[in-house]
Amino acid sequence: MAITVHPDGNPFGTHRVLKPRGVLPQPAEKIDNDCTRVWDNELLIDVQYLNIDSASFTQLKAEQEDDESIINRIREIVNQRGKMHNPVTGSGGMFIGTVEYIGEKLQPTCTLTVGDKIVSLVSLSLTPLRIDKVIALNRETDQVQISGKAVLFANSLYTKLPEDIPETLALAVLDVCGAPAQTARLVQAGDTVIIIGAGGKSGILCAWEARRRAGINGRVIGIEYSDESAVELEKLNLCHEVKVLDAQDAVSCFTAMHDLTEGRLGDLVINCVNIPDTELASIMMCKENGVVYFFSMATSFTKAALGAEGIGKDIDMIIGNGYTRGHAETALHIIRESRAIRKKYEESYV
């Protein structure tokens, strides 16, 4: 593919924003995804896999009747917006691809070479993306195999694919790598940590990190929606207790955790689910002056803020920033260190 190169691209990618002018690529309604032209501070990537984030893919499956409809909707979003930015959830995902072009201004400091395979560590909701062909869609893993192109900006995050971990497994793990890294930062020795969705892709990594950080005097309580998921979580031996609860039923969750902890509740509550209306359960299971970490992209921060106010709960609430320094290494280390978790992930993603 012949490309033309333009000078003086903005490091944050604002030169690609078409509508409305003056905003950054993530909140933009439409960005320029023309990959036949690049700027001298961009990376051009040949894309093989998309990992649609869990909240977005769950919404797409609920909205569309079959795989073909999901594929058509993904293509429609990308064609309309120039990026995979779900207008309902506001979220995106990430990709695997091969480096095709490195802008001249990036070359002095860039550790990549043309031909390197990378995983993007910034959201598809801000990444210029062109889909030429959809090869396959996997409903169980939220992954879509495609032929296409993407652009990364000067300030975009990425990591080389590890050689010792299969591509689709690495993509799945790195999609949620911010969660265990933030967990490592938040958990203190002796804490009681409650994890909603502890058996999911991000929840398992958080549970492993929480158990390690809380230590012998700590307590990790995992919450799952179904008996089947709870049984699978128990097999991993990551949580001291696993409870089957509906996180959309805040009062039942509060009652169960109040009884289980003898009224102490959680020092830290981590929300990893991909459905809406779980904000108040998270807040009510947290002790006064505790911390709730909302990693879920299905979270309404209006509901969280006003809900906490409505029940008079003085807690700190943290937005699930997808970036934490060292987050990729933290997540991949778990996969390398825990054979049980790696086997569990391989059953789903390899």
**CATH value at residue 320:** 3.40.50.720
Residue 149 maps to a domain = yes
Residues 153 and 218 both lie in one domain = no
154/191 same-domain check: no
Q: Which residues of the chain have pLDDT under 50?
A: none
Does residue 261 share a domain with residue 113? no
> What is the structure's pLDDT at 222?
98
73 and 129 in a single domain? The answer is yes
What local confidence, expressed as pLDDT, does residue 298 receive? 85
Residue 171 domain-assigned?
A: no
Whether 168 is in a domain gets the answer no
Q: Domain range for residue 95?
A: 4-161
DSSP H or E segment with residue 204: helix 201-214
Tokens standing for residue 301 = 């921060």
Look at residue 1 in the predicted model and tell me its pLDDT: 67
What is the number of domains present in the chain? 2
Q: What is the pLDDT of residue 350?
A: 83
pLDDT of 34: 97
Helix axes 327-337, 167-175, angle to 10 degrees: 130
Is residue 151 one of the residues assigned to a domain?
yes
Q: Among the three residues 130, 161, 192, which one is the final residue of a domain in this structure?
A: 161
Nearest alpha carbon to residue 144 among 114, 172, 177, 179: 172
The C-alpha angle 133, 134, 138, rounded to 5 degrees, equals: 165
pLDDT per residue as tens digits for the range 158-181: 999 999 999 999 999 998 999 999
* Residue 251 shares a structural domain with residue 340: yes
Q: What SS3 class is residue 192? A: strand
Which single residue is written with the structure tokens 């996969």? Answer: 335
Last residue of a domain, one of 161, 189, 221: 161
